[in-house]
Amino acid sequence: MGNYAEAYSADRSLKGKLRRRLMRLINTRPLATAPAKPMVSFTFDDAPLTSAVAGAALLETRGLAGTYYVSAGLAGTQAPMGVCADPVDYQRLARAGHEIACHTYSHLDCGQASGAAALADVARNAEAVSSWNVSEMVSFAYPYGDVAGGAKGALAKRFSTLRALHHGLVEKGTDLNQLPAVGIEGPGGETVARKWLAQAKARSAWLILYTHDVRPAPSPWGCTPEVLARLLDQAVADGFDVVTVREGARRLGI
């Protein structure tokens, strides 16, 4: 997949774009139950140290918890979004009530990997995380938001939900094997997130938000602490249940 210390994005060719659209039509698992009330999950991909410290603190001071999609192979390494957290940080997050979820071990591009390769990398991640005394991971997010048919079908048998990166809401009929999510990233991230919060409230849906680093001068894939704080406060003021992905899935009988 290349050196993750260098910025990477999924295949942006016409072929890559068409494959991603096709993947949303195969190996689907439609959600059978509509949310009873609006829910929102705040999730952090790759778990940079800033998200495990500053991001977690913003949630915890409000009595809330988030979901951290962890690639154990990145622990303590330098990534495009800053240094990733260490096992001791993930242990503290778990003790504080946050969900530790799976992002493969090596930050594997599931859009290029076979089903067998994806399962092997996920198993390696589970083994590493279990050594940290963290509970079993039941939620998954595709690195780069990308997946091919074999990997999607294989991973669907392993996790309760699999999250992608295309925009949308989780409602009755949504594919649990490729859940939509909205990024809090870049200069317009807060505006985009607020738009989707309004839609989720109006439709009584589940919105999954994601970011990476949380720091005053964030990477293009992260946000500032101020932005995250405002979105958390907006969600609470609007009557959302702020839940981890694991808890959101449990409430929907997944």
Asked if the structure places residue 63 within a domain, the reply is: yes
Average pLDDT over residues 135-151: 92
Range of 228's domain? Answer: 37-251
Is there a domain that residue 93 lies in? yes
Helix 189-203 × helix 225-237 angle, to 10° = 10
CATH of the domain at 198: 3.20.20.370
List all residues 6 or more positions away from 60 whose beta carbon is below 8 Å from its beta carbon: 96
Residue 22 lies in a domain: no
Taking the model in full, what pTM does it have? 0.93
pLDDT tens digit sequence for 64-102: 999 999 999 999 999 999 999 999 999 999 999 999 999
Q: Which pLDDT score, from 0 to 100, does residue 1 have?
A: 35
Sign, CA torsion 195/11/123/219: negative
Q: What is the tally of structural domains in the chain? A: 1
Identify whether the C-beta of residue 208 lies closer than 8 Å to the C-beta of residue 43: yes
Does 126 map to a domain? Answer: yes
Report yes or no on 9 lying in a domain.
no
Residue type, 136: E
Domain membership of residue 11 (yes or no) is: no
Q: pLDDT tens across 150-198, in order?
A: 999 999 999 999 999 999 999 999 999 999 999 999 999 999 999 999 9
pLDDT tier for residue 2 given thresholds of 50, 70 and 90: very low
In a domain, 54, yes or no: yes
Q: How many angstroms separate the CA atoms of 126 and 114, rounded? A: 18
Mean pLDDT of the chain: 93
Whether 77 maps to a domain, the answer reads yes
